[in-house]
Amino acid sequence: MTVFLLIRHATNDWVKTGRLAGWTPNVHLNEAGRTQSAALGKRLASAPLAAIYASPLERTMETAEAIAIHHPRLSVQPLEAVGEIDFGEWQGARLSKLRRQKLWQTVQLYPSRAQFPRGETFREAQARAVNALEALAAQHKNQQVAVVSHSDIIRLIVAHYLGAHLDFFQRIAIAPASLTIIGLGTDRPFVTCVNDTSHAPPALPEARKAGLWQRARAILSSYC
């Protein structure tokens, strides 16, 4: 069985801009993100990793490097197939503007039908990411592999291996610098861990409260 450690990149400051990042270049981890990724790296320091793959974007590569520093024999290998969803013309746009478009409701309520203008569909993103894991499973039989990716991509992968319809993938929570574990062998797949953040440093009460409010506001705005 190949054991995959699926890791979402750590926190960055792009979220504060209120825009959709996508494949926007030069989005780096902030101080909190570097602290998160360092804690994750320490947790995985003794893991018997055979390889470390990452989406080629800066925030994922930097998160992966925090893991690789504890595994001197390994280098981070960029893997475009686990890169962020191609949002096309939506990339870099303000969320407040996107929420007024009809496509926004489709993305929220019927994502399997959503086609981003001059971008890809969630179906296409799920297929490329799952195909990438299947190829890695054939390459790394009976090994443990780290894959650093993005929230939606990991959620799409988890939904596939749970046998859940794509329209339910947004019900899966994947936090920054979280760990999700999936085993692929000759038998059925095993999802043994989802969204584990036990390694994360404790947030200050003010930061924790602000984070909860931001998440609540984002959820509420989806229905406005």
Predicted confidence (pLDDT) at residue 224 exceeds the cutoff of 80:
no
pLDDT of residue 218: 45
The secondary structure of the chain as a DSSP string is -EEEEEEE---BGGGGGTB--TT-S---B-HHHHHHHHHHHHHTTTS-EEEEEE-SSHHHHHHHHHHHTT-TT--EEE-GGGSPP--GGGTT-BHHHHTTSHHHHHHHH-GGG-B-TTS-BHHHHHHHHHHHHHHHHHHSTT-EEEEEE-HHHHHHHHHHHHT--GGGGGGS---TT-EEEEEESSS--EEEEEEE-TTSPPPPHHHHHHHHHHHHHHHHHTT-
Domains observed in the chain: 2-221 (3.40.50.1240)
pLDDT of residue 203: 65
Q: What is the tens place of the pLDDT at every residue in 168-177?
A: 999 999 999 9
Predicted confidence (pLDDT) at residue 161 exceeds the cutoff of 80:
yes
pTM of the model: 0.89
Predicted confidence (pLDDT) at residue 212 exceeds the cutoff of 60:
no
pLDDT tier at 15, thresholds 50, 70, 90: confident
